[in-house]
Amino acid sequence: MLISTRGRYALRVLTDLAEHQADGYIPLKEIARRQDISEKYLESIIKILVKSGLLAGLRGKGGGYQLNRPPEKITVGSILRLAEGGLSPVSCLEEGAPPCARANECRTLELWQGLDQVISDYLESKTVADLMRTGEPGNDYVI
């Protein structure tokens, strides 16, 4: 499984908004500048996040974006599923996938189901609030 820039940037955007939530609505231009992401690309990511209800947007002077929920209530798994369209390690486990004709004799199905569960459990155990924590050993990487 490979997380695309869309998924990684969605995490960065939500973390940025969480870190600056006291500032009210944050203009897209500010987020793009702080995160060094193209405004145009960021627009497509923000659109997904607003449509899902994670973000609220306000147009006009003083407008921008802000979180609709506390950072502690937004899981990394939910963000990545929105941005990536799913996180299943194999296509037969994707939501809405047609039943696999080989499922009854598939020797690897249980392996993929287990991996899928481990990935889901881990990503659902992490929140945007966890990503905001800095200064902890091992937390000095960039997404």
Which tokens is 10 given? 């969605």
* For the chain, percent of residues with pLDDT exceeding 90: 74
Q: For 39, what's the count of Cα atoms within 13 Å in the CB-facing half-sphere?
A: 6
Residue 134 has pLDDT above 60, yes or no: yes
pLDDT tens figures, 57-99? 999 888 899 999 999 999 999 999 999 998 999 988 998 889 8
Residues 24-38 have a mean pLDDT of 95
pLDDT tens for each residue of 68-77? 999 999 999 9
Q: In whole angstroms, give the CA distance from residue 135 to residue 60.
A: 37
Give the C-alpha separation, 55 to 66, whole Å: 6
| Confidence (pTM) | 0.86
